[in-house]
Structure 1
Amino acid sequence: MDDLGWLELACDLAALCPPSSTAFSVGAVVVGADGREVARGFSREHDPHDHAEEAALAKAARDLTGSTVYSSLEPCGHRASRPRTCAELIVASGARRVVFAWREPALFAAGRGAEILAAAGVELVEVPELAGRAREPNAHLLGK
């Protein structure tokens, strides 16, 4: 599967999120350097505070050096509910690429995840043609 296919899967996972009025619905897939899926997750999958990338990375339980993280939304760069942001978790995991569809709007916090990842040398690929799919499970938030 190529970047577009993995990112479409991440957008599909976002639709599985229990709705929230205080957080985005996001899906994420971790793909190893060998091109095979390692793990997937979505926001609030097991806990109301789970972020998609955090959930997927927690399931990976292996060295992710050279992996790619696909996320429907730019990984968070600010977080109130947990000590580490998704961008920090991705950097610590060893993943070297992040592919995302939609830049985080400044609805809950300033979207600084891409800045943190880029500063750490993580390659960023934004696929704006899938941003509409990433926004769909968040329509209830965007109408505010």
Structure 2
Amino acid sequence: MTADTEPDRRWLSAAIELSRLSPPSHTRYAVGAIVVDHHGVVLATGYTGETDPHEHAEEAALAKLAGRDLARATIFSSLEPCTARKSRPASCTDLILAAGIRRVAFALREPPIFADCHGAETLRQGGVDVAEIGELGHLVAKINAHVLRLATAASGR
């Protein structure tokens, strides 16, 4: 795993800010994703619900890059890419692996509210370099407080 860098924190902060564009919903996380090439050029962005209520941020960004060589790109996602979905046949980790992306950075592990997620582990098993930049996780949790509060209330904690 590559240590995170100042550019990683900048790009991830931008993905977190992008997540604020996600239409409000108590049934999904607000997530932002940015795909950046090895020169630091933004190739695509996406956020939860960008064009479809069931669309995930990584899915939205990657759909804009179909057929492109992404082997040297990094996807910055505010939340750990999912490994299970009810609304689509392919998870975000499946889409990232299929796109050939070799590096992923995220700020917060997906809480076990909607699914049991093992995105970081699945990506690593697929040969992807994964950087977890937890120091920014509190920002993602704050943006998703509406979902996290409901889950806490439902569990009685």
Q: Which of the five TM-score ranges fits, normalised by the shorter chain?
A: over 0.9
Determine if the alignment matches structure 1 residue 126 to structure 2 residue 132: yes
| Unmatched runs of 5 consecutive residues or more in structure 1 | none
Superposition map of 1:1-144 within 5 A: 2-61=7-66, 62-144=68-150
In 1, Cα distance between the equivalents of 2:38 and 2:133? Answer: 20
Q: Helix, strand or coil: the match of 1:105?
A: coil
1:128 is aligned with what amino acid? G
| CA-CA distance at 1:33 after TM superposition | 2.2
In 1, Cα distance between the equivalents of 2:24 and 2:112? Answer: 19
In 2, Cα distance between the equivalents of 1:113 and 1:48? Answer: 22
Q: Normalising by structure 1, what TM-score? A: 0.96
In 2, Cα distance between the equivalents of 1:28 and 1:2? Answer: 15
Residue by residue over 1:20-63, the C-alpha shift from the partner in whole angstroms, topping out at 9 and shown as x without a partner, is 11111100000112221100000000100000000000112322
In 1, Cα distance between the equivalents of 2:107 and 2:32? Answer: 11
Aligned length: 144
Q: Helix, strand or coil: the match of 1:99?
A: strand
1:34 is aligned with what amino acid? H
Segment drifting more, 78-87 vs 61-70: 61-70
2:126 is aligned with what amino acid? A
| CA-CA distance at 1:67 after TM superposition | 0.8
Q: Is the Cα contact below 8 Å between 1:77 and 1:114 reproduced in 2?
A: no
Q: Normalising by structure 2, what TM-score? A: 0.89
Give identity over the alignment, percent. Answer: 51
In 2, Cα distance between the equivalents of 1:101 and 1:21? Answer: 21
